[in-house]
Structure formats: structure tokens, C-alpha cells
Structure 1
Amino acid sequence: MSIRIYNTLTGKVEEFVPIDPPKVSIYTCGVTVYDDSHVGHGRSLIVFDVLRRFLEHMGYRVRFVRNFTDVDDKIINRALQECMDFMTIANRYIASYYRDMEKIRVKPADVEPRVTEHIKEIIEVIQGLIQKGYAYESGGDVYFSVSAFPEYGKLSKRNIEELEAGARVEPSEKKRNPLDFALWKSAKAGEPAWDSPWGPGRPGWHTECVAMIFKHLGETIDIHGGGLDLVFPHHENEIAQAEALTGKPFARYWVHNGLVTVGGQKMSKSLGNYITLKEVYSKYHPDILRLLVLFTHYRSPLDFSWEKMEETKRAYERLIDALEGLELLKKLPTYEERGTHPLFEKVKEAEEEFFRALSDDFNTPQALAVVYGLVSELNKVRNKAFSEGRISLQELQAYEFAVNSLIKNLRGVFGLLEDYKPECEVERVVQRELEAGQVLDEGLLNLLVEVRNLVRKEKLYHISDLIRDKLKELGIVLEDTPAGTKWKRQ
């Protein structure tokens, strides 16, 4: 099955053909570590985590690099505000980032380079650009000369005349042209600095990724990714530097995810309308955030709200309910019937449609539509079995086949259900007590009654009924009265 993906550079959906299959090299721009990561960061991280998982599932050997910007104006300003060293700030938020990634199930990159560990490589890139006439030194700063690179603007589809008319530029008396961008910034009093051929200073933002890609992935990579807001100027400036230096294409495919908005405005720290990942996963299971992201095509905007999180939570519970139905069906009486149950074939067709959707520009909403179509089929089987009070062995086997398929693909490709267990914790506790033949003490009985009341409020009646039935087997009868649930020993 061929894979097709939208390339920002060409503006087309193209067949994905790696440079050296089955190897695939991917670089995505990481976070600037001066604060906690928010949902906008989380979306990009989840999108490229799932893209990576999908390619690996399809048999590719992915080398994935994602950087940290650990020296930057924002980090320096935060350090000044808190009266501490900039590296203390950077280390604090790198540690916070790793905690967030563990919570939302984003796999670590194969290499996670930091700017401060690549000063030598950055200086070498700048020196090469000066030697080739694409950059110049001015008063301790070094700038890239945009006019020296005729293809500037090819990624963002802008021309130099439009940019000169008022696009995002950094004015400076040291520049030859207002569009020229900084590769090296001379040191200011109290700021971190490194020695260089142009005097003490630090890298400009746009050079760090070029140097790190060259070192860890080579001069041309398969996929360069990031948020749509990075197309200009950051990725445009990366292309200019890299291709001016090597004369080779910098990346074969440029892949950008749409922005996260709040009420139609881009979520950002500068606007103060951001919601941190910590706030989200303190209220919801991390799978719900991943589902929210995957229900929207990666190139489309995603407007975040707590109402949408609630909607996604209900969709997630439908999925879990279907999976847990297997354990309940196993408790029903079984009988034999002729032939193979049609659900087997529907599962195979669903798997094909699932991967066909992902192969067509990473269409996760369509893939999830396939998943929930299969969930509906499972619910039909379960409802029929419960109404009849029995299930055929063929139906049970087909149901189990479907559940295993869903868990395998959702866990392996989407990073969902990583902590899912076939039986809930309450069931395991009760089952252990039953098998051990132990007498339940009053404290544990009261706890089980309280848990049952909680799951009934959540309308998880199959769990509350299970607790009641298991306790009855242990000689404990529950009575639901207007004054609450009471228990008594038989």
C-alpha cells in the first residue's frame, strides 16, 4: 500500500518515497523551554508521534530527531525575572516537558539535541555561509543575505517584494536589507555568550535546526515537520541557509499541522489564552486528548474547548465499553452454530480501511470513523447476546478477534489504550477475594459499596452489576434503598 502525504513545499499530496528505504529520517522543531507546554504544543507532538508510529508499523526504520531551544530571548527574560541562571530555567522546563510527554504517551525522539550542545556546529554553518557569500558580519552580528538566495519564499509562497512591503522582519541598522535575518547575535551585558570568530555572542533562532539536522540526519532528510506557524519565517529561513550551503534539497517533504485555536484565536502564550497539558491531563485521561487531536485532520485548525473534551470523553467511553463487553460476554452460556460469523470478515475489511485512510495523507478522522463503525458492530453482537441470555461460540470468537484487532492497532499506531486492561480493577479485586475464599471485612465491604455507587453514577451498570453479583457469590447481599445501599451477610 503506497503512502501519500501533503507536501507544503509543492502544495500537493504526493506519494511518499524515502531517500533510502526502508530508512526514514524525520526532524520536527521542538519547544523553547521557558514555560510549561500547552495544548498547541501537544497537538504537534501527538501528530508527529502518530505519524512516526504509523510509518514504523508500515515497516519503515524511522530515525526521529526533535530539538530543544534552550537559549533564547524568552528564556533569558524569564531567568532575569526570577533572578537565576538561564540554564536553570531551561533545565526546569525540559524536565517538565518530559513529564508531560510521558503523561500524553508521546515517545521520546531517537535524538533530542539542545542548542547549547551544538554551538560548534552552528558556528561552522555560519562560517560556510560567509565563505560562499550568503552571509555577512556587521558589528559583531552575522546576517543571512536574503537577496543572495533567489529561491527565498518558495516554501511560504511569498515573494521578496511582498515581504519588503511589511511581512515579519527584524529591523536593524546593522542589516544591509530589512529582510536579512540574524545567524549570530553579539553579546549583551548579562546575557549568556560563547566565543566565535565574530566575538562573544549566541546563535540566532533559525540556524540551530540546520546545524542539528546536518549533524544527526545529514544534508537532505525525508520529512521536516512542525506547526503551520513555523512555515514563515523559521522554516523558510532554514531552507535558505541549508540549500545555500549544500546546493541540495534540504527536505523532500515539508509536513505542517494546523494550529490550535481558542474561540477562533491561535492558542499562544503571548495572547495568554493557552491551556497547559498539565491542566488537561489532571482532568482527563490522556487518551482523550489524543482522541481529540486525531478526530481532526492534522492540517485543519483545531478549536479547543472543554465542551469538546467532554464530547471526546463520551466517545472514548463508548470505545472502552465495547472492549470491556468481551469480559461480560464470556460469562454468558455458549452454544454452537454453523459457519463462520460475518464479523470476522468485517474486522478484516475494517483493518484494510483503517490503514487505507492513514495512507491517504494521514487521514486520522476517517480511520477513527472505521474504528467506531466496528464498535457499532460489536454493540449489535453484545445487545443480541444479552437479550437472548446466551452467545454462540462463533460470535464470541469473532467479538474477541475484533477487540484484539482494535487494541493492537489503536495501541500500536495511535498510542491509545497503553494502560488498558481487559478487566477493571474492581472486578480483579472481587475475583481475587472469591478465588481465595476470604471473608470480606466491613471496611472493604463499605469501600466496594462506595465504588459501586460511583460507577452507577457514571452509568457503568455492567460494572456495578458485576460487583453485586460477585458479592452475592461471597454471601453478601446488597439492598438499594432510598437511604442508600446497605449490605448484609446471608
Structure 2
Amino acid sequence: MKIFNSYTNKLEEFKTIHKGVVNMYVCGPTVYNYIHIGNARPVIFFDTVRRYLEHRDYKVNFVSNFTDVDDKIITKALELEVTEKEITDKFIAAFLSDVEKVNSSTDYTKPRVTNYMDHIINYIDILVKKGYAYVVDGDVYFRVKNVEDYGKLSNRNVDDLVSGSRVDINNKKENPLDFTLWKKTDVGIKFDSPWGEGRPGWHTECVAMIDDVFGEQIDIHGGGSGLMFPHHENEIAQSLVLNNHTLAKYWMHNGLLNIGGNKMSKSEGEVVLVKDLTVDSNAFRLFTLSTHYRSPITYTDEALDVYVKEWDKIKRIYSSLFLKLDLEDSLIGNAKINPDLLKTYKELLDAMDDDFNTANAITALQNLIKISNQMLRNKTENSVLLSALKLFEDFFEILGLKYKKHPLSSEDKNTYKLWNKARSEKDFAQADIYRNILQEKGII
């Protein structure tokens, strides 16, 4: 298996730190609003990564945080005259609901910044005591000059960064690139520290939580490409000075999901909220995974509609396989794989082993549709059809597609037989009655 490592900017063989175990951290949301479909892209992709690693028998320890201390949260709380916790509790619940809506698992570790404050403060204190950070009027800043390769992840030159728009110009700093570890404040939620009341800087929160949950280094750190600089660059800087290695062995970044050619942005109102999606979540998931994760996606209703139709096609063929096998009491038994199915399964594994190429995996799924359709027409033996059904379920499991048929009752099987009998006898009025019963139950 190979993964594109953003830190080295190359495709690398995937080797875990501990055999058979993957420790994985993905930057989670700042919980002050509902998430849009651009925010859902990393949720879906890294959920798929986890699913595939588990399919390959890795034990995956998946962690994704909630940033529940932030200026945006404080501003919203002041506007609504409620506590920050009321804001964050509301939008954490909304986020988890949206995660489930896009067929992603919520069964993972979810650290909240406010629950790790002691460890974050201690982490900053170590940086100060070792000379990697300094205190000015209750604020604490990280000394970037201590990091020789600063800018490596985002492929940026330090001199260019000094004049760049994303660097905060502050006269208190020794260097314009130095970033905030602790911010003195009188506004909103604040915490006691050796430097006075305040709250942590964003860039130290994740690295400190990773240190507490996992230790010095994890296998995979993921997030959107917009987090490369300054967030992930600054996480790496802190880890390098304390531990002499990067925070993660592999850094993975997904591309943006754009709408109408523009970056999706809450502040500019160019958003489609996940909670407002009306299409089948499987279709949306297919749409999101149909482009390689490192490439941008442009959202349009027309582009999404392609995968609404694709999902309908997948359901139809899967249902046809299931129905035939169920009616002939062949859902349980020995499955026999043929060369075409074996080739398709290999295509799935090859795609996912190649930097989690979900686009190629979906192409393999489309091949399975064609093969299965042909086998149904050719009246292929049931043991082979059962293999095709199980292969569909492998695709569903890995790509996070949810569609489960339940075995028919004896009454339903009898209705189906009566429907076929009425059709063969050209008793169309009676056939329509049976058909309506079967359709109402979702059998046909």
C-alpha cells in the first residue's frame, strides 16, 4: 500500500509504527455553525481511509477533535447572550448528526479542547522552559527560528512567508512568523495559566492533544489542504523542537470542494449545508469519492445528479441479485468466485492500495455492475451470483454505502410467485395487485 505524504511530497510505502496498528488523527471542526458540504469532504474521505484499513485487518485508533475554544465561538455566544458551552454543545450534536447523514462513523475518540486544558498549558510551559517559546505581556509565542525546515510541509520559503498575507504582523513578536501559543484575554471563556488568564492558540491545541492521546508520533495526520499552512506547519514545528521528528509519519490532505468554481466559505455565504442536502447520502458520498482526494471537486446539481442515477443503478443490480438468491433459498451457502469477479476485487484493492484512489475503486464498482448484469442474463449458477453479491457488500463496506436488503418472509415469496404466475397467464389485473404489494414493501 502506498500513500502520498504531503510532508515529503512523494508517494511512499505505508509502514505503520506499530505492526498491525494505525494511529490516526484528523483535524475536526470549530463548533460554532453547521457544516457545509466542503467540510464534509474530509469527513467522508478519512472515514473511507479508516474503513479500508480495517478491511485490510489493521486496528485503527481514529481520533478527531472538536475545537470548542475560539474567537468565532465567543463572538456568537456574546451575540446570542448564551454561554460558549451552549453554542459548542449545540453544534457538536449537529456535527455528529451530519456525520451520520453522510454515512460516516461517529464511533471514534473525540477530544474537546476544553477537556485538555491542563495538558495544553503544560505543553506550552515545556516549550517556554526549553527556550522554544517566549512570554510577552501574558501572551506566549513560538520561536520559529528554531525550526530549520519551517515551511517544508506547505512548500513555502521563509522569506516569502514573512511578506505573505497569512502571517500575523504583531510588534510584540521577535519574528513575524512566530505564532501564538497562548493569548491573554479578558473577553469570553478564559483559563488560568502561569502567564495569566487567557486561552490557547489554535496551533498548539491539536499537537498537545495528540501528545496526550497517542504520545510523540502517530501514523497518519489528515485534514483539508487549507490547513497545511499555517496550522499543520505550526503543529510540525512544535513537535520537531521537542521530539526531533514530525508529529506524524504520513501527512494527508484532501483538496477543496468548490461551488460554482468558488471556494465554499461560510463567511461569504457560498455554502450548501449538509443538513439541507435532500439527495440520497449514498449518491452524495459517491459524488465526493468519484474524484481523487487530492484534487479539487466542483459541486453542481448536474454533477451530483450523475451519481444519483449511478446509485439507482447500483441498487437495482444488487437488489436483483439479492432477490433471485433469496427466492431460490441461496443466500446462505458456498460462494464460488469466477475470474471476472476475482479481477474486479483485485481492481478494488489495487485502487485503494494506490493512495486510496476512490475514483478508480468506483470504476471497479461500475465494472461489477456490468458483470453482474451479464451473469443474471446468462442465468449463471447461484454460487457465483452469491460471490457477486458479497463483492458488492465489500464495496459498500469500504466506500461507506448503506443499502441492506432483508430476507423475504415466506408470505412475500409466495406473493412474488403469484405475481409471476399471473403475468405468465396474462392476468394483468391480478398481476398489478401483487406488483403493488411487492412495491409497497420495497421488494421490487
- Of 275, 278, 282, the residue aligned with 2:272 is 275
Change (3 A) 1:477 1:61: closer
Q: Kindly tell me: are residues 331 and 116 of structure 1, through their superposed partners in 2, closer, same or farther at Cα, counting changes over 3 Å?
A: closer
Compared CA separation, residues 170 and 61, structure 1 to 2 (3 A) = same
User: Partner of 2:368 in structure 1?
Assistant: 374
1:284 to 259, 279, 299: 279
The whole-number CA distance in structure 2 between the counterparts of 1:468 and 1:201 is 77
Q: Is the Cα contact below 8 Å between 2:422 and 2:428 reproduced in 1?
A: no
Question: How far apart are the structure 2 equivalents of 1:314 and 1:260?
Answer: 21
Residue 414 of structure 1, aligned match among 395, 399, 412 = 399
Q: Render the CA deviation track for 1:334-384: whole Å, top value 9, x for unaligned.
A: xxxxxxx997221111111110111011111111111111211222233x3
List runs of 5+ in structure 2 lacking aligned partners. 329-334, 434-444
State the distance in 2 between where 1:84 and 1:342 align.
Answer: 61
Distance 1:410 1:170, change over 3 A: same
1:166-206 Cα offsets, whole Å, 9 max, x none, are 241112232222211110010224x1110000000000110
Q: Does the CA-based 8 Å contact 1:344-1:402 persist in structure 2?
A: no
- TM-superposed deviation, 1:327: 4.6
Alignment identity in percent? 40
Larger relative CO (CA 8 A, sep 6+): 1 or 2?
2
Counterpart of 2:345?
351
- Say if 1:354 and 1:307 are closer, same or farther in 2 by CA, change over 3 A: same
Gaps of 5+ in 1: 334-340, 386-390, 438-464, 480-490
Corresponding position: 1:71 with 2:65: no
| Aligned equivalents of 2:17, 2:337: Cα separation in 1 | 40
* Map 1:112-123 → 2, pairs under 5 A: 112-123=110-121
Counterpart residue number, 1:461: none
| Structure 1 pair 331–100 and aligned structure 2 pair: CA distance change class (3 A) | closer
Separation of aligned partners in 2, 1:301 and 1:430: 50
Structure of greater Rg: 1
What are the Cα deviations for residues 426-446 of structure 1, in whole angstroms up to 9, with x where unaligned? Answer: x879828959x9xxxxxxxxx
> 1:306 Cα deviation (Å)?
1.5
Matched residues in 2 for 1:79 and 1:469: separation?
Answer: 65
1:202 counterpart SS class: strand
Relative to 1, partners in 2 of residues 1:429 and 1:92: Cα closer, same or farther, differing over 3 Å? Answer: farther
User: Aligned to 1:188, what secondary structure does the other structure show?
Assistant: coil
Cα distance 1:192–1:306, how it changes in 2: closer, same or farther (>3 A)? same
Bigger mean CA deviation after superposition, 119-128 or 147-156: 147-156
Structure 1, 312-321 or 265-274: larger mean CA deviation: 265-274
Q: 1:292 to 1:216 in 2, by over 3 A?
A: same
Q: What TM-score do the two structures reach when normalised by structure 1? A: 0.81
Deviations 1:194-237 (A, max 9, x none): 00000000001100001100011110111110000000000000
Is the alpha carbon distance of 1:133 and 1:166 closer, same or farther for their aligned partners in structure 2, counting shifts above 3 Å?
A: same
Answer whether contact 1:24 1:63 (CA < 8 A) is retained: yes
- State the partner residue of 1:243: 240
For residue 18 of structure 2, give the secondary structure of its aligned residue in structure 1: coil
Indicate yes or no: 2:141 matched with 1:143. Answer: yes
Structure-2 separation of matches of 1:466 and 1:256: 53
**How much does 1:395 deviate?**
3.3
Answer yes or no: is the 8 Å Cα contact 1:27–1:66 preserved in 2. Answer: yes
Q: Deviations over 1:304-355 (max 9, x none)?
A: 112111110001111111111125545999xxxxxxx997221111111110
Instruction: Evaluate the alpha carbon distance shift between residue 223 and residue 331 of structure 1 in structure 2; reply closer, same or farther with a 3 A threshold.
Output: closer
Aligned length: 426
- Distance, in Å, in 1 between the alignment partners of 2:171 and 2:410 is 72
| 2:399 alignment partner, SS class | coil
SS at match of 1:413: helix
TM-score by length of 2: 0.90
Q: Conserved in 2, the CA contact under 8 Å of 1:65 and 1:111? A: yes
